[in-house]
Structure 1
Amino acid sequence: MNLFLTILKWIGKILAGLIILLLISGLCFRLFGSKPVPPGKLVDVNGTQLHIRAEGKKNDLPTLVLEAGAGSNTDMMHWIAEGLKNNLRVIRYDREGKWFSESSKDSITPEFYANQLHQLLEKSGEKPPYILAGHSMGGPYNQIFRELYPNEVKGMVFLDSSHPEQWERLAQKELFSESQIVLVKTIAILADMGIVGAYNTIFKSEPENDGLPKKCHIRSHNLTAYTGKVFRRYIKENDINDKILFRAGQTKSLDSLPVLVFTATEQYKESQKEKYRSEGIDPDKQIEIWYKMQKELKELSTNGKQFIIDANHGSIITRKENAEIINKEILLMAASIK
């Protein structure tokens, strides 16, 4: 019994020592770590600093505005912007609270983001006409913008976009499950304490092999290590997701607006497929439903086109070869708009 208590005592001392070491490491990271620098510029919109990246010369073609997905950022659109900036004016930005943009203290409505983007474009000296291109949840955000400013939008591009009815028709019912939210909240606290940054400094991880340049991953790595804001924004996005989808779903027609829909072939990893099967859900049926919803996005307009790309939900834009397919069609659309 005495031996058992002695062992427990030493285990306690070791754990206490590790915790103290983590706290000291985190404090050192917060004191001496460098603050990540945004690649674009910050523009004040009603007291909120929003991050925007504007590239390419203004010309007679419409300006392309890129809208990232729920857990995404301007770097995810790297190859789209790189491939088009020599021909078009290309705008990337982070919604409030995301990545390098400050969190807004205003009350959030589904129309809030469209209005805020409109003000950001105006304050940055950008002028319509616009082509809106949205990846994942970026699609519904763009639908709301077009509904509010129809005369300024001359084309829309859906990049494996979310569908207003996806939670009703798919097995997944939200962006993040309760267990994922708990994990995200925990990581946010650790990031604020500097522990995530200290860990990343000591145990250097290899960038994800998704096709993006290493500098994009390093920037993301540094920002998520420096602050828990990014992770808390995931939770906020989860909270407002249903309202955004519902508001976007009020758009029943885009008339004859030029519309491009790009759909990825691979929607689920094998682990996700196995999880669905264990729950009695047929993943192949889920993919069929996704394809049907993608077709419905195309059919919002009498001038819609759909393209199937051999990719997953992320690599449809993060791999250069996929972005080149998308960029070719966007250029054709832009040239056709008078």
Structure 2
Amino acid sequence: MKLILKTLKFIGKLIVGILILVLFSGICYKLFSPKPVPPGKLVNVNGTNIHVRAEGEKKALPTIIMEAGAHSNTDMLHWVAEGLKHNTRVIRYDRDGKWFSESSNNDNISPEFYAQQLHALLEKMGEKPPYILVGHSMGGPYSRIFRDLYPNEVEGIVFIDSSHPEQWKRLAQKELVPNEQAKLFKIGSILSDLGIWGVYNKIISKPTYQGDGLPQEVYRRSQSLTFNSGDVFRMFLRENKLTNDVLARAGKSKDLDALPLLVFTATEQYKESQKNRYRKEGIDPEKEVKLWFDMQKELKELSSNGKQIVMNASHSSIITNKANADAVNKEILLFAENIGKKN
């Protein structure tokens, strides 16, 4: 019996010692690891510093305003911005609380809040319409809301594999972040704040490059920011709560009438692992893809002046792969030039 008690006592001390070592390592990581540096600049908008990257000169073409997706950021739009900035003014930014942007800590954020904040940001920077809005994924609904509030400032919209207001009603996936994943995000936020996640990835895991075609510098910045602060995970959860309201508000926006509209649709919506999981759950992944294509067509038909381009790409690689982004940019520039000719 004494031997058992001694063994348990030793195990208990060992566990406590390991926990102290892990916490100490995390604190050292937080104190001494280099902090990620914003690649753009911070602009104060009503007391909140918003991260924005403004590139290119204002020419004959309208200024392009880029909206990233829900779990995305300005870096994910790297190749699209790179390909457009030599021909016109390009603005990309991180929404309130995302990535390098501060959070306004507003507990009652409306779907219109982000559009209003973006509009205030553009005014603060001295940017002038007309604008072409380019939205990837959930950036599409955000763009629709902006245009609904400021119709006289928008001369065209580009949807890049954009979300649809009814996607959670019609697809098997019913929310942005499933409950199990949300729990992991909560744990991830704590581990990042303590520096433990950073230590694990720097010393133990040493993850290989998985940038889907983005430059390694961009990928490393993304990893660094994620491992240095739990804010990234908390924003994922915050967006998850807002997504339904944003989609519903976008669905109530005014008709686009004959507004120039360009819709890019990716062919590959599900990885093989997700297809296999769907099949086990009795869901037909091919039917899901067809539903997505139906909704993409509906987006194109929002305007009598809409055009749809189907691309052999995934939801992310349509912008992160340089060849795909080059193809997207070529069409966007033609789109912008046609708008410029009419003015």
- For structure 2, the residue ranges without an aligned partner over 5 or more in a row are none
Given the alignment of the two structures, is residue 274 of structure 1 paired with residue 241 of structure 2, yes or no?
A: no
Matches within 5 A, 1:175-194: 175-194=176-195
- The offset of 1:249, in angstroms, is 0.3
Please name the residue that 1:25 is paired with. 25
- The offset of 1:9, in angstroms, is 4.2
- On the 8 A contact 1:252/1:300 being kept in 2, the answer is no
Given the alignment of the two structures, is residue 302 of structure 1 paired with residue 304 of structure 2, yes or no?
A: yes
- On the 8 A contact 2:161/2:315 being kept in 1, the answer is yes
Given the alignment of the two structures, is residue 241 of structure 1 paired with residue 238 of structure 2, yes or no?
A: no
The sequence identity of aligned pairs, in percent, is 64
Q: Kindly tell me: are residues 9 and 310 of structure 1, through their superposed partners in 2, closer, same or farther at Cα, counting changes over 3 Å?
A: farther
TM-score between the two structures when normalised by the length of structure 2 = 0.95
- The offset of 1:276, in angstroms, is 1.3
Matches within 5 A, 1:148-163: 148-163=149-164
- The offset of 1:331, in angstroms, is 0.4
In angstroms, what is the RMSD of aligned CA positions?
Answer: 1.3
Q: Which letter maps to 1:283? A: P
Q: For residues 296 and 2 of structure 1, what CA distance do their matches in structure 2 show?
A: 74
Moved over 3 A (4+): 1-14
Q: Kindly tell me: are residues 311 and 181 of structure 1, through their superposed partners in 2, closer, same or farther at Cα, counting changes over 3 Å?
A: same
Q: Which letter maps to 1:110? A: P
- On the 8 A contact 2:211/2:219 being kept in 1, the answer is no
Please name the residue that 1:40 is paired with. 40
Q: For residues 30 and 209 of structure 1, what CA distance do their matches in structure 2 show?
A: 24
Q: For residues 299 and 130 of structure 1, what CA distance do their matches in structure 2 show?
A: 21
> What are the Cα deviations for residues 217-264 of structure 1, in whole angstroms up to 9, with x where unaligned?
111111111110011000000001110000000135211111111111
Q: For residues 302 and 254 of structure 2, what CA distance do their matches in structure 1 show?
A: 7
Q: For residues 4 and 319 of structure 2, what CA distance do their matches in structure 1 show?
A: 56
Q: For residues 184 and 255 of structure 2, what CA distance do their matches in structure 1 show?
A: 39
- On the 8 A contact 1:170/1:286 being kept in 2, the answer is yes
Q: Kindly tell me: are residues 209 and 99 of structure 1, through their superposed partners in 2, closer, same or farther at Cα, counting changes over 3 Å?
A: closer
Please name the residue that 1:216 is paired with. 218
Q: For residues 263 and 37 of structure 1, what CA distance do their matches in structure 2 show?
A: 33
TM-score between the two structures when normalised by the length of structure 1 = 0.97
- The offset of 1:33, in angstroms, is 2.0
Q: Which letter maps to 1:269? A: K
- For structure 1, the residue ranges without an aligned partner over 5 or more in a row are none
- The offset of 1:134, in angstroms, is 0.6
Q: For residues 4 and 311 of structure 1, what CA distance do their matches in structure 2 show?
A: 60
- The offset of 1:19, in angstroms, is 1.2
Please name the residue that 1:74 is paired with. 74
Q: Kindly tell me: are residues 6 and 310 of structure 1, through their superposed partners in 2, closer, same or farther at Cα, counting changes over 3 Å?
A: farther
- On the 8 A contact 2:148/2:254 being kept in 1, the answer is no
> What are the Cα deviations for residues 170-217 of structure 1, in whole angstroms up to 9, with x where unaligned?
011000111111100001011111111222221322120400000011
Q: For residues 147 and 21 of structure 2, what CA distance do their matches in structure 1 show?
A: 52
> What are the Cα deviations for residues 12-49 of structure 1, in whole angstroms up to 9, with x where unaligned?
33332221111000111122122211000000111000
Please name the residue that 2:131 is paired with. 130
Q: Which letter maps to 2:214? A: L
Q: Kindly tell me: are residues 209 and 96 of structure 1, through their superposed partners in 2, closer, same or farther at Cα, counting changes over 3 Å?
A: closer
- The offset of 1:149, in angstroms, is 0.5
Of 311, 314, 328, the residue aligned with 1:312 is 314
- The offset of 1:69, in angstroms, is 0.4
Q: For residues 327 and 238 of structure 2, what CA distance do their matches in structure 1 show?
A: 33
> What are the Cα deviations for residues 261-284 of structure 1, in whole angstroms up to 9, with x where unaligned?
111111111111121112111111
Please name the residue that 1:255 is paired with. 257
Q: For residues 3 and 59 of structure 1, what CA distance do their matches in structure 2 show?
A: 82
Q: Which letter maps to 1:87? A: N
- The offset of 1:8, in angstroms, is 4.3
SS class of match (1:264): strand
SS class of match (2:151): coil
- Larger mean CA deviation between 191-200 and 61-70 belongs to 191-200
- The offset of 1:2, in angstroms, is 6.1
- The offset of 1:5, in angstroms, is 5.2
Q: For residues 14 and 308 of structure 1, what CA distance do their matches in structure 2 show?
A: 58
Q: For residues 105 and 280 of structure 2, what CA distance do their matches in structure 1 show?
A: 43
Q: For residues 5 and 166 of structure 1, what CA distance do their matches in structure 2 show?
A: 58
Q: Which letter maps to 1:14? A: L
